[in-house]
Amino acid sequence: MVRKMLGLVLLLSFNNINAQFNLQLNQILLVGNTAQTVPVGKVWKIESYMQAGVTINDMAESTATCNFPGRHHAMIVNNQLYYLINGSPGHGSSGTYMAVGNSLPMWIPAGTTLRSSCSSDVISVVEFNLIP
């Protein structure tokens, strides 16, 4: 009997706990290399980063990192580069080492800017309204 009463008291006390906001799906976005800002009253959930393949000759050199097909392209959040990788850090002999912990999904709040580093890459974003 005491367990049932304790369970009932706990159930009733937790019933009055509310989150700060509820999320309401607003729209799906594809963000390219033009910076976009999360609007006030919204939150974005970054679902995926789609890196386009680029075909170049094996011996070709280019100063733009977007022209190298096997290289990771950065996602840029508030002008900071974030590399999304699977497996071990580093990339061949490029000398570039990245944080292994960067993964998706990633939630970003209002006022945050987001863009891809290359014109042919897109970031898939789910935008939610924050409902009090």
Rounded distance, CA 107 to CA 27, Å?
A: 15
Domain that holds residue 80: 19-131
Any domain includes 80: yes
Any domain includes 10: no
Per-residue pLDDT of the chain (132 residues; tens, 9 = 90+): 656 655 655 555 555 555 689 999 999 999 999 999 999 999 999 999 988 765 554 444 444 467 766 677 889 999 998 887 654 444 444 445 555 567 889 999 999 999 998 888 999 999 999 999
Any domain includes 6: no
Q: Tell me the CATH number at 84.
A: 2.60.120
Could you tell me where the DSSP H helices lie in the chain? Answer: 2-14
Contact 111, 37 (CB under 8 A): yes
Tally of domains within the chain: 1
